[in-house]
Chain A
């Protein structure tokens, strides 16, 4: 590899960076307006609906960052060409974690927003908690100060570990010190453990406590696999995009896409497995504290959303990804990856939106599909666009391949020869 070939980010990244910010800002404003108007119209409380829609965007972007941290450490532990060539793309995503902490601020603000007896998190409403034995019982855990402290602890842990991996990886570029590889590998076991635990608690806090009477022990794994899925789908999309630009068009080979495609298939199945397990156990148990979660989601048009998730979050991508040719062809793999990103947001809406009636009032109806999907997708695109602007900025700061990794040349050459 010649010295001039530093694998810096192509100009297109800078170009799309500005566009992402602009589009993100537009969608964010549109999302706020739509969420407020439709939320007031549907009687959810306009501001509460703004925050609920925002939560979808926050959860999605933070999920990509945390999921990337998990993939990064998995790659360090297993090694392999797929991990080397995607390392910088995942690293840049983990460097957005401080930005995700900023995105967390509105979630904290939402804890103080109450509107006509409605709040995003029911347990933040003192009057409701006072009249509810179950919520009173959960108060030592579900209270505002502890919620915020926990959130900060999760981010601190993620940022600390991501920072170590990023620093050593950058150091490897300049020094090529072989001990660094071992260090990154060693810390990665710790990262997997810490991410597994913190993500579980983050999922309980941010997602599950939207419906504080309900609980599911597999929820943490559902969320973590969803984060892993969106992180991988996102990185595949970025890689297929970079592949059209110098100098990355020779770096990513069909073999690398093939491996990423296989991992994507694995995650599609893993997610379906976890999500179905939760459904099956809740459905079979049919207990009064558990089943309302699905009752809310299987009536008034929401059963169609559930069916769409089975079909387009599992069946279709599963069938498509069986094909070896599709996994090796970047432009075809990209379509599946984008489908998965879309379906991740779709699934988050399915998980978060019906919580508006968690208090046990009226059932959700078909009208609620419109009043939730429209603002939530707009908000996901808005927060996502701004997050993407930050991500592209991080992508520009380092070479797009880990130049100091001893196995890099082999990983690219072997794959190239392969085809």
Chain B
């Protein structure tokens, strides 16, 4: 190419470059030289709503969930007996026990409308009562029934409303196998132990807390990787009777639990 050709080509490029270098309407206009900027003014530094910086926030990856729940529980041990025998009520009374549960879920699959998860949860229950003599006199000794319930869970969280329309309610359903380990204590130590298998079903509703304090939620996510926080309440129907085989202590109950959950 001749020199004249080079010159012409450069001129065309310069014109095109000038044409493409139009100011982006989303960007702030450059300040005139010599303008002083107050760096303490948040309005100067914060991105305006709808700008690029805000629109690109998508949170950290989400794979797991942790829950801590509590609720009343009264194992239906006496359901096994007929003819008015109530050894559980006779020993421990009618008071409700405190069920404390800790759950870990792996949200392994995202499907339309929500997530599928598998997990495990375990907790603790304790009933303490007075030991009686065979002729029914109360002694100074206590007897204790300890129960460690464990649940092998499959669950579905329907979070479409929260994700698409910012409705902070996430219904969910869990079901799975339940296994309750139990042991009885007396003054000398462990008197007997065993376990009772069964199944459970647990529908519930979670209130996503992010919408109430979005800034804090984002900070929680960026600093700890917690995507969402919830208050949860769920119904728990635990049919823990050895699948009806009649050789296990019946520890079933219909109750509810409430607690907090975190997805991360």
Q: Do A and B come from one complex?
A: no
